[in-house]
Every structure is written in C-alpha cells, then in structure tokens.
Amino acid sequence: MGERGEPRSLGLVDGGLEAFAVGDETHLVAALDPAWPPEVAAAFDRWRQAGLRGRCDCGTAGWRDVAPAPWPAAVDGVPVLEAVLNHAPGCPAGEQAVAEVFARHGLKVP
C-alpha cells in the first residue's frame, strides 16, 4: 500500500471502534475515549491519522502486516482491511511514544 487519500470518518462502530473511509477502503481503528485527558487523545489520534493516511512526518518506513484482528470482515458491505504503519524510532506518532503518554496517565493503549 502506498500513500492514500484523506481519511473520512464513517462514525462509531460496535466494540469501541471508529470506521474511516480512505479512498475505496474502509479502516477500523479504536475510537477516541471521551474520558481520556487531551494529551492522551491527541497522542492516540496522531497515531491513528498517520496510519490512516499512510504517511508520517518521520518519513515512515512503510507498512507492517498485522494478524487478523477481531474486526468485522466488512462494514456496510465494504471489506475491512487492517494495516499498521511503521514509524521511525522516536516518532511522536509511533507506538512507543503513544504508549508512553498512556502510561504517564496510568492508562492502557486500546
């Protein structure tokens, strides 16, 4: 997968997920929790948006396949894909940086 268009939210899905249309694909990502502190929500949304867009300011190193998650196979008849973006070490949108923000607030990454 290469660079894709702007993600457009399709709304919340059962199970704490949010669906996004990206080009002709539908992506599911964990929804933002309204109970999160702003710093946590911002960190998680950085990670989400980079993944949905397929690019990041860190000059991302591409995609990493993820074992099929317990997502639904389709939303409104559109097949659901899952992919995770690799980030450069130290990227604030990377999984490690995001996990550190969650940990600072005593929260778990969804």
**Residues 36-95 contacting Zn ion, CB under 5 A:** 56, 58, 87, 91, 93
**Helix, strand, or coil (residue 82):** coil
Task: Give the nearest distance from C-beta 39 to Zn ion in angstroms.
Answer: 18
Q: How many residues bind Zn ion (CB under 5 A)?
A: 5
**Cα-atom radius of gyration of the chain, to the nearest Å?**
14
Nearer to Zn ion, 25 or 53 (CB): 53
Task: Give the nearest distance from C-beta 82 to Zn ion in angstroms.
Answer: 18
Q: How far apart are CA 97 and CA 46, in angstroms?
A: 10
* Closest by Cα among 10, 110, 105 to 70: 110
Nearer to Zn ion, 41 or 97 (CB): 97
Task: Give the nearest distance from C-beta 100 to Zn ion in angstroms.
Answer: 14
Contact yes or no for 33/41 (Cβ under 8 A): yes
* Closest by Cα among 70, 59, 65 to 94: 59
Task: Give the nearest distance from C-beta 76 to Zn ion in angstroms.
Answer: 30
Tokens of 11: 């709304």
Nearer to Zn ion, 13 or 85 (CB): 85
Binding site for Zn ion (CB under 5 A): 56, 58, 87, 91, 93
